[in-house]
Structure 1
Amino acid sequence: MNASKLRRRLTAALVAGLFPVALNVSAQEAPVAQEKGPAAADAMLHALQVQYLHPYRAMDTASVKSVLDRVFTYLDRVTPAELINKTTGAAVTDLSRADPDTVLKPGDFRLTSYEWGVTYAGMLAAGAATGDARYTNYTVKRHQLLADLTRLYAPAVKADPANAQAPIKSFLNPHALDDAGALCMSFMKAKNMGSKVDYGQLIDICGSFVTEKEYRLKDGTLARGGPDGKGGIKMRPLPNTLWLDDMFMGVPTIALMGKYTGKAKHYDDAVKQVLQFSKRMFNPALGIYMHGYVEGASSHPEMHWARANGWAIMAMVEVLDVLPKTHKGYKAVAAQLRAHADGLASFQHKDGLWHQLIDRNDSYLETSASAIYTYAIARAVNRGHLDKDMFGPMANLAWNAVSGKVNAKGEVEGICVGTGMAFDPAFYYYRPTSVRAAHGYGPVLLAGAEIIEMNKKFKFGINDSGLMYQGER
């Protein structure tokens, strides 16, 4: 061994002895020193291993799937696809008649909430990414139950919406986008992926509500408000209020209805919604959205709530997945997606997550929003909307942090509970978190599935101590 190489090895050994390390993070070897003589004491400091909070690497498929499997096992156990008699608790298996005393067997989460519409989509994505049919079957089994219940109970609910009883009445008689939009998205995604469930009646109910019946402003933008049926105006929380959440609760379904019906008007409407929400609620200087907007108000205090921003970027990714590339609005939606992703990148916390109020670092780090960003950014990378070399490492960092919030039981920790909207910071700062908040489970499944796809397609590794894109696989 020549003297120069021996000197470098001795220096590295000395540094390693002086600075103990914890994680196995390698660094690119520095160029051979051109100077002659003994090495300076700082010669190898750049190669010190770093004590990151989460693994600083791109997880392989097996590592990601082990996280998803914990989530699946928990959810499969605590969300039974079963019916019982509401008085006796006895199992109900006879679906030949619509019994008003039949209800869904209670579990930890509801099977017909908007959060579970996202979870159904997440299970489908996880099944596709891992090849594990358990995930796909989870969604198909519950969709089949919902289709059976719709066949039985829809006629009575339609005939007497106020008084009819049904196990899934909020879906059969929707009053808001939350009742119909995300579920409808999951139905059409499953149908497009080859599910044999008969979705016709399901999609007719939820698709028509989203595209034709939900309240809108005069320019057609989806909004909360309108007549309350008693001679007054709905206050949600004020008349003619836009919730950023509704970009997701309605817009992906509108776009999917374009594919389902073959009618271009739905594609046009989906693009219009993205651009009109963005015109009112996107802050181009920060690259993020405000949560709430009241049409006609003279000013709009901006609260940049994380999960609502997640719904927005997820909506744009989903729209671009089905919007024809030849559509006149395609480039505008893609540009808005990139502007939002740029903004979110600037606010990512050093350990991978995002804050409850994105631009307020003293608000807590929140899991569901971080999982949604992980999914949307990784999917945008996979679809070519975002640069893989710039955003791939960011998505991997985010996933590693999100996966650390899945406990041994498969519960997801750090999820903000259901949240309305407000114009003061205290409301958002003090929202509780809970493993029973349903909002985080679907996003974790989606995020893990998309990270698997991204890391199968592209290689990310350590180069000169940083996680970098290293080419296509």
Structure 2
Amino acid sequence: MNIKTLCLTGALLLTGISIYAQKKKEVINDSNTPLHLLQPAYKVPYKELTTTEIKTDIDRILRYLEKNTPTRVVSKKTGKVITDYKNLPADAQLERGAFRLASYEWGVTYSAMMAAAKATGDANYMKYVTDRFNFLAEVAPHFRELQEKSGQVDPQMKQILTPHALDDAGAVCAAMIKAQLQDQSLNLYPLIDNYLDFILNKEYRLADGTFARIRPQYNTLWLDDMFMGVPPVAWYSKLAKDNKPNYLAEATRQIFQFAERMWVPEKKLFRHGWVEGMQDHPAFHWGRANGWALLTMTEVLDVMPENYPQRAKLMELFREHVRGLAACQSGEGLWHQLLDRNDSYLETSATAIYVYCIAHAINQGWLDAMAYGPVAQLGWQAVSTQINAERQVEGTCVGTGMAFDPAFYYYRPVNVYAAHGYGPVIWAGAEMINLLNKQHPKMNDSAIQFYRTEQKTQEPIFSVTDSN
């Protein structure tokens, strides 16, 4: 090695040592850096949120659903579109999209679309609803005539014409009542009355009148049925020309009779199932069923007059349920499939229902925004990450029966075609828009805080000594 090479090597070595020393000197520590201001490695967005961001998310879902829920009658054999409804062939059926037009999941979606239309001022959401309700109202009598002639009818239309479970009737009926109340040009009364007749007069009940099923055990209560049966009865109190029976009283009675058997006070959660005559009742706190219960109370409180005798009791149950649910929210913002079992998977549809109900309760003055606004916003931020590039909602548990063992719930599949996720996500987004328009969330000391008035100052910057 010559002198020139040796000198160059030495210079490089000294430079490296100098750089290393400089880097070592700049190592972040408690003495030179306010560590409490370091950016956490959040798994979902944790930041201030805008109404524009939310609308962009729910608009994407709207576009997807418009393409995947057609409103045409076709021949099952040939696939050709049928436009003459007065002479339906025996193989006439609703054109199949990715989702059914009159499932209970789509009843939730119609209610959500109406809420989104009001929150955003975008008429496309209401158009989605009225296009499909007008279509169903127009074709229903012709399919009924076909059913009476042949004894056979498209299964999707059969669910509308001759419901056999609350799943067939309740959520769609409630949505139709809301639509009829908003738009008197609609003619949904025949469909609404048909649904109400089933709910009030034909649905199976316990001896005390509580909605029940005979599966998987005789005289079983499913928490889901609070939502499947109660909201349409409550909403009908605003549409009915008479009040015999007292629809709101019936709705309230159902809620408290379910709660008497299924509310678990030490957890502030509902069990999913209850069987008459069962000595012990294992409590599996399934996420979406608790969502249906919370949504039921939300819907009934919306209808119930402020001076209604049992309103205070219902409000306290609602608030206790929110307290129990808030305690179960994960650090990612989503709730678990089994709410109190953190090793069960994180689930989207239940989370979206909670976000809607909590945000709506804040907007109505039922809950404190400072306490629960961050819960709703964190939940929405998590839900928004579940809308994929194809505008589908991921992470939604498929339809679920009722069981008394954990494995059943832990291993229920999730699927982008589980229709339960779409309505709740739109509904949650719509109500979050309302929330941001009424409240003033802002980052303060790296945390989301909700304020009643707009905060003009920037997020405070602290010195290294301010490290509480």
Q: What TM-score bracket applies, with the shorter chain setting the length?
A: 0.7 to 0.9
2:429 maps to 1:448: yes
Structure with higher Rg: it is 2
What is the CA deviation profile of residues 7-52 of structure 1, one whole-angstrom value per residue up to 9, with x for unaligned ones? xxxxxxx9xx7569xxxxxxxxxxxxxxxxxxx7177222222232
Report the alpha carbon displacement of residue 154 of structure 1 after superposing the two structures with TM.
3.2
Structure 1 residues 151-162: aligned runs within 5 Å: 151-155=141-145, 157=147
- Are 1:148 and 2:138 matched, yes or no? yes
Partner deviation per Cα, 1:189-226 (whole Å, 9 max, x = no partner): 1112226320110111111211222111111111112x
Which whole-Å CA distance do the structure 1 matches of 2:175 and 2:32 have between them? 56
CA deviation profile, 1:115-157 (whole Å, cap 9, x unmatched) = 1111111111111111111111111100011101223233564
Cα distance in structure 2, aligned partners of 1:18 and 1:124 = 55
User: Partners of 2:338 and 2:270 in 1: how far apart?
Assistant: 11
Q: C-alpha separation between the residues in 2 aligned to 1:381 and 1:399? A: 15
Structure 2 partner of 1:231: none
What TM-score, normalized to structure 2? Answer: 0.88
Could you report, residue by residue, the CA deviation over 1:307-341 in whole angstroms, capped at 9, with x for unpaired residues? 10010001100111111222111111111110100
What SS does the corresponding residue of 2:85 show, helix, strand or coil? coil
C-alpha distance in structure 1 between counterparts of 2:86 and 2:438, whole Å:
48
1:274-313 map, 5 Å = 274-313=255-294
Deviations 1:35-75 (A, max 9, x none): xxxxx717722222223222213421110011111111111
- Which SS does the other structure have where 2:442 is aligned? strand
Q: Deviations over 1:370-419 (max 9, x none)?
A: 11111111111111111111111100000000000000111011111111
Q: Give the structure 1 partner of residue 107 of structure 2.
A: 117
Larger mean CA deviation between 189-198 and 99-108 belongs to 189-198
Which of 369, 375, 400 is equivalent to 2:350?
A: 369
Aligned to 2:217, the other structure's residue is in SS state: coil
Shift of 1:274: 1.1
Q: Does 1:130 align with 2:120?
A: yes
SS of the residue aligned with 2:393?
Answer: coil
Q: TM-score, normalised by structure 1?
A: 0.87
Q: Contact 1:151–1:201 (CA<8 Å) still a contact in 2? A: no
1:181 aligned residue: 170
Q: Out of 60, 74, 85, which is 1:70 matched to?
A: 60
Residues 277-286 or 165-174, more deviating: 165-174
Tell me by how many angstroms 1:106 deviates. Answer: 0.8
Instruction: Specify the alignment match of 1:336 in structure 2.
Output: 317
Alignment match, 2:208: 219
Alignment-derived partner of residue 346 in structure 1? 327
Say whether the 8 Å CA contact 1:70–1:408 is kept in structure 2.
no
Q: How does 1:10-159 map to 2 (within 5 A)?
A: 41=31, 44-155=34-145, 157=147
Asked whether the equivalents of residues 352 and 398 of structure 1 are also in contact (C-alpha less than 8 Å), the reply is yes
Aligned to 1:410: 391
Q: For residues 216 and 85 of structure 1, what CA distance do their matches in structure 2 show?
A: 39
Query: Which residue of structure 1 aligns with residue 298 of structure 2?
Result: 317
Alignment of 1:359 with 2:340, yes or no, is yes
Q: Pick one of 431, 437, 450 that aligns with 2:418.
A: 437
- Where does residue 3 of structure 2 map in the other structure? none
Query: Once superposed, which parts of structure 1, at least 4 consecutive aligned residues long, lie more than 6 Å away?
Result: none
Q: Secondary structure at the match of 2:196?
A: helix
Q: 1:198 to 1:463 in 2, by over 3 A?
A: same
**Can you list the C-alpha shifts for 1:160-185, whole angstroms capped at 9, x where unaligned?**
8x924245111110100000001001
One-letter amino acid of the structure 2 residue matched with residue 437 of structure 1: A
Cα offset, 1:456, TM superposition: 0.6
Structure 2 SS opposite 1:201: helix
Q: Give the RMSD, CA atoms, in angstroms.
A: 1.8
1:308–1:366 CA distance, 2 compared to 1 (3 A): same
SS of corresponding position for 2:239: helix
Structure 1 window deviating more from structure 2 (42-51 vs 121-130): it is 42-51
* Deviation by residue 1:203-250 (Cα, 9 ceiling, x = unmatched): 11111211222111111111112xxxxxxxxxx100100000011111
Structure 1 equivalent of residue 407 of structure 2: 426
1:177, 1:210 within 8 Å by CA — same for their partners in 2? yes
User: Distance in 1 between the 2:120 and 2:127 partners?
Assistant: 13
CA contact (8 A) 1:150 1:201 kept: no
Name the CA distance, whole Å, in 2 between partners of 1:221 and 1:213.
Answer: 12
Aligned partners of 1:295, 1:417: CA distance in 2, in Å?
A: 27
What secondary structure sits across from 1:432 in the alignment? Answer: coil
Which segment is superposed worse, 351-360 or 44-53?
Answer: 44-53
Sort the Cα spacing of 1:135 and 1:42 in 2 relative to 1 into closer, same or farther, 3 A: same
Partner of 1:191: 180
1:388 maps to: 369
Gaps of 5+ in 2: 1-22, 455-468
Secondary structure at 1:192's aligned position in 2? helix
Q: SS state of the match for residue 443, structure 2?
A: strand
Compared CA separation, residues 411 and 195, structure 1 to 2 (3 A): farther
The one-letter amino acid paired with 2:87 is: R
Q: Distance in 1 between matches of 2:127 and 2:273?
A: 37
**Distance (whole Å) between structure 2 residues aligned to residue 312 and residue 58 of structure 1:** 30
Q: Equivalent pairs: percent with the same residue? A: 48
Instruction: Please give the secondary structure, in 2, of the residue aligned with 1:96.
Output: helix
Q: Deviations over 1:348-387 (max 9, x none)?
A: 0001000000000000000111111111111111111111
CA 1:96–1:427 in 2, change beyond 3 Å: closer, same or farther? Answer: same
The one-letter code matched in structure 2 to 1:134 is N
- Provide the secondary structure at the position in 1 that maps to 2:451: strand
Cα distance in 2 for residues equivalent to 1:42 and 1:307:
48
Alignment counterpart, residue 207 of structure 1, candidates 193, 196, 204: 196
CA distance in 1, matches of 2:310, 2:73: 45
Residue identity opposite 2:352 in structure 1:
A
Aligned residue type for 1:248: F
CA contact (8 A) 1:58 1:455 kept: no
Q: 1:48 to 1:216 in 2, by over 3 A?
A: same
Query: Counterpart of 1:243?
Result: 222
The amino acid that maps onto 1:250 is: G
- Looking at structure 2, the residues matched to 256 and 111 of structure 1 have their Cα atoms a distance apart, in angstroms, of 21
In structure 2, relative to structure 1, the CA distance for the partners of 1:274 and 1:314 (3 Å cut) is same
Q: Which moved more, 1:441-450 or 1:164-173?
A: 164-173
Measured in 1, the distance between the counterparts of 2:190 and 2:232 equals 15
Alpha-carbon separation, structure 2, partners of 1:394 and 1:101? 50
- Deviation of 1:472 after TM superposition, in Å, equals 4.2
Q: Which runs of 5+ in 1 are unaligned?
A: 1-13, 21-39, 226-235
Quick one: distance in 2 between partners of 1:359 and 1:57?
A: 27
Contact 1:368 1:440 in 2 (8 A): yes
Distance 2:170 2:184 in 1: 19
